[in-house]
């Protein structure tokens, strides 16, 4: 099975060298698929290697998407170039520093997660012997760095984004607020799990597993709400067939949501009773791997939206807001 995954990676990379983000998402999918297979085979070395690789490529893809996010970039252009702060030389005043600081901190957090995987593998025997300090501190620092990466945009919401009031800035504040709430709560979960990781050494590790499953549930809820609220899934486009070119990105969103439910459903089933490596039902492994690549297919559909030219649009009606999407066309979302 690993030979098949390796061949798939080689063939895909040969076909997508000009799309670094797409390649990174694919390699992340391969890493996660390898991780569930390694868990099933009880291969500790391959599991840590796969997990570390997935963290590495997801970090690159995330930062690449963040830099090229048109919703954020359009809002930055509407912000004042500098916003005076009441604390000279300390406050965040330059709009250009928001994205730079966020990407740097997110990249550091991702690299530290990769390092934490290596340290966990290196000190795994000491950990199970009761010496959990090194592993615990590595994951705690990683989680703290993730939380620190939320600071630039948190300041932006009450500083740069608050300096002007416009429809673009209003949508930006809603979008970033939901994003930050999700990331901050997720970081707090991981920080708690990092400090309490020595509970895995106890016979009853149900508390740790309960918090972990709560974190997974939180991610699912916010991910679904964010996709439904900020994507085109529920927007109204006139004269559009169910499977027409205009609905390509919508089907991409639906496939990603479906894959997310299946992946986290399998994950909950795996860690519900124990976090010890154990052979899984082969149907769960197959379902997990298929769901990962279904999610990647959804990302692929949203990555290459259709090019629609020579279109006319009706005027914006009352209580509606025109939003420019990644493919450059207008859709109308109810302003709730």
pLDDT number for residue 329? 37
Buried b (16+ CB within 10 A) or exposed e, 46-69: bbbbbbbbbbbbbbbbbbbeeeee
Asked if 222 and 285 count as a contact pair (C-beta separation under 8 A), the reply is no
Judged by average pLDDT, the poorest of 104-118, 200-214, 305-319 is 305-319
pLDDT number for residue 231? 61
Question: Hey, where are the domains in the chain?
Answer: 232-336
* Backbone torsions φ then ψ of 21, nearest 5 degrees: -65, -40
Rounded Cα distance between 310 and 19, Å, is: 28
pTM here? 0.78
Rounded Cα distance between 119 and 52, Å, is: 11
pLDDT number for residue 85? 58
Given a cut of 90, is residue 146 above it in pLDDT? yes
Radius of gyration of the CA atoms of the chain, in A: 22
Q: Return all residues near 181 (Cβ < 8 A) that are at least 6 apart.
A: 222
What are 245-285's pLDDT values in tens digits? Answer: 777 777 888 888 899 889 988 888 888 777 777 788 889 89
* Backbone torsions φ then ψ of 94, nearest 5 degrees: -90, 125
pLDDT number for residue 328? 40
Given a cut of 50, is residue 330 above it in pLDDT? no
Q: What is the 3-state secondary structure (H, E, C) of the chain?
A: CHHHHHHHHHHHHHHCCCCHHHHHHHHHHHHHHHHHHHHHHCCHHHHHHHHHHHHHHHHHHHHHHHHCCHHHHHHHHHCCCECCCCCCCCCCCECHHHHHHHHHHHHHHHHHHHHHHHHHHHCHHHHHCCCCHHHHHHHHHHHHHHHHCCHHHHHHHHCCCCCCCCHHHHHHHHHHHHHHHHHHHHHHHHHHHHHCHHHHHCCCCHHHHHHHHHHHHHHHHHHHHHHHHHCCCCCECCCCCCCCHHHHHHHHHHHHHHHHHHHHHHHHHHHCCCCCCCCCCHHHHHHHHHHHHHHHHHHHHHHCCCCCCCCCCCCCCCCEEEEECCCCCEEEEECC
pLDDT number for residue 236? 53
Given a cut of 50, is residue 224 above it in pLDDT? yes
Give the whole-number percent of the chain exceeding pLDDT 90.
Answer: 26
For the chain, the average pLDDT equals 78
């Amino acid at each position: 099975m690993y030979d098949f995954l390796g061949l798939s990676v080689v063939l895909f990379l040969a076909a997508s060298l000009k799309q670094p983000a797409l390649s990174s998402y694919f390699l992340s999918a391969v890493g996660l698929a390898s991780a569930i297979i390694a868990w099933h085979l009880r291969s500790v070395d391959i599991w840590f290697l796969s997990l570390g690789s997935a963290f590495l490529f997801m970090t690159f893809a995330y930062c690449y998407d963040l830099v090229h996010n048109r919703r954020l970039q359009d809002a930055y252009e509407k912000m004042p170039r500098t916003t005076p702060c009441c604390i000279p030389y300390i406050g965040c005043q330059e709009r250009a520093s928001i994205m730079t600081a966020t990407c740097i901190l997110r990249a550091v957090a991702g690299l530290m997660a990769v390092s934490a995987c290596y340290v966990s593998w290196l000190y795994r025997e000491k950990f199970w012997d009761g010496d959990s300090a090194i592993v615990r501190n590595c994951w705690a620092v990683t989680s703290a760095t993730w939380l620190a990466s939320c600071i630039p945009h948190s300041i932006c919401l009450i500083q740069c984004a608050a300096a002007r009031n416009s429809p673009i800035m209003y949508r930006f504040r809603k979008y970033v607020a939901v994003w930050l709430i999700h990331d901050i709560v997720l970081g707090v979960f991981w920080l708690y799990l990092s400090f309490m990781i020595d509970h895995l050494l106890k016979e009853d590790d149900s508390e740790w597993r309960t918090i972990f499953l709560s974190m997974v549930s939180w991610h699912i809820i916010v991910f679904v709400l964010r996709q439904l609220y900020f994507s085109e899934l529920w927007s109204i486009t006139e004269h559009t067939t169910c499977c027409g070119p205009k609905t390509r990105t919508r089907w991409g969103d639906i496939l990603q949501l479906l894959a997310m439910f299946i992946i986290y459903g399998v994950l909950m089933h795996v860690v519900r009773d124990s976090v010890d490596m154990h052979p899984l039902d082969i149907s769960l492994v197959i379902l997990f791997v298929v769901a990962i690549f279904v999610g990647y297919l959804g990302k692929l559909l949203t990555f290459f939206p259709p090019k629609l030219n020579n279109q006319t649009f009706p005027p914006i009606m009352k209580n509606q807001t025109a939003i420019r999407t990644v493919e450059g066309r207008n859709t109308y979302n109810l302003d709730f």
